Amino acid sequence: MRFSLIGAGKTGSLFSSFLVSKGYEIDYIIDKQPEKAKTLARYLDAGKVSDGCNFPVIRGTVLIAVKDDEIRKVFKQLWNANKEIDNFVHFSGMLTSEIFKEAAEEQKGTISLHPNLSIKKRFMKPDVLYNTIIGIEGNKKGISFITNLLKKNGLNFCLIDRNKKVYYHSAAVFASNFTQILSLISRILYEKSGIDRETATRIVGKFLKDLSTKNETEPLEYTFTGPAIRKDDHTIRMEYEALEAIDPDLSILYKKLTELIMKYSSGGDGNEYK
C-alpha cells in the first residue's frame, strides 16, 4: 500500500510518521516550502521530495494536509495532472469529501479524516493516535478503504454524517480551543486575585483533571456547580460588574455562560438546538 503526502506540516507529519511506523511506503513528500518536505523526509527516512510546482506521477493514496482554503486548489492542480491516484484524503474537520467530487465521479475513493486531537507540534510520537478517536466521512469506496486501514492498525474512529459535519467540527472547537481560552482566562483572573502564576496554573489544571474524570463517570449535565446552579443572583451580579470594569468582553462571556449553564444543566438538555 503506497501513500504520498502533500503538506508537510503538523498533521501531515503525524500521519505519515504513523504510516511509516507501521511499515507503509511513503512515495513522495510535497510542500510549497521544499525545506519542510526535506526535513520531514529526513525524519521519516522515507519519501522523495518535491516543491509542489510540478506534481510527480503519484500512485496509491494521496494525503492532502494543507489549510482548508487550499485543499480544493491543490486537488484540482493534482487531478488535472494525474488521474492514476486511487484514494484522495484530506484532514479538514469542517470540509467534507465533496471537495473531491471530480474524483468521486471517476469512482476514486474520497475521504475526509479528522483526528479529535490537539496536534501541538510537528514531530509528535505517532502512538498518540491510539489515544484519540478519528472522525471519518467519504464515498463508499473511500470509507471501505479507510475503515480497513484504521481497523488493521488498531485506531479508533467514528463515522460522520456528511450533512451534519459542521456540528462535528463545532464540537471539536468547543472541546479543544474554547476549553483552552476559558482555562487561560481562569488563570489570568486567579493571578489578578493575587495568586502567583505557578499556583494559578496548578489550580486550573486540577479543575481540568477533575472534569476529565467526571466526564468518564457521569453525564456532564449533572456535574455543574457554582452560583449559576445555586441561582445566587447576588454573586453573579457582583462578579459580572467586577469583570465589566476590567474587560467588558469578559463580563458578556460570563453572563452568557451563566445562562447556558442554567439552560443545559440537569434541568435541560439543549433540545432547543436540535
Give the pLDDT score at 274. Answer: 38
Task: Give the global pTM.
Answer: 0.83
Give the pLDDT score at 53. Answer: 64
Residue 101 CB coordination number (10 Å): 14
266 Cβ contact partners less than 8 Å away, ≥ 6 residues apart: 221, 222, 224
Phi, psi of 34 (to 5 degrees): -55, -35
Give the pLDDT score at 199. Answer: 94
DSSP H or E stretch at residue 157: strand 156-159
CA atoms within 13 A on the CB side of 69: 0
Tens of pLDDT along 108-156?
A: 999 999 999 888 788 889 999 999 999 999 999 999 999 999 999 999 9
Question: Dihedral, CA atoms, 53, 1, 24, 42, nearest 10 degrees?
Answer: -20
How is domain 168-273 classified at the CATH fold level? N-(1-d-carboxylethyl)-l-norvaline Dehydrogenase; domain 2 (1.10.1040)
Residue 171 CB coordination number (10 Å): 13
Report the chain's C-alpha Rg in angstroms: 23
Grid cell in block for residue 103: 474524483
Question: Is the separation of the CB atoms in 180 and 108 below 8 Å?
Answer: no
Give the pLDDT score at 51. Answer: 72
Give the pLDDT score at 135. Answer: 95
Give the pLDDT score at 195. Answer: 94
232 Cβ contact partners less than 8 Å away, ≥ 6 residues apart: none
SS3 content of the chain, % helix, strand, coil (to 5): 60, 15, 30
- Using alpha carbons, select from 223, 222, 227 the residue that is nearest to residue 240: 227
Architecture of domain 2-160: 3-Layer(aba) Sandwich (3.40)
Stretches where the chain sits below pLDDT 50 are 268-274
- Using alpha carbons, select from 180, 1, 38 the residue that is nearest to residue 13: 38
Give the pLDDT score at 152. Answer: 97
Give the pLDDT score at 122. Answer: 82
CA–CA separation, 124 and 8 (whole Å): 13
Domain boundaries, the chain: 2-160, 168-273
3-state class (DSSP) for residue 267: coil
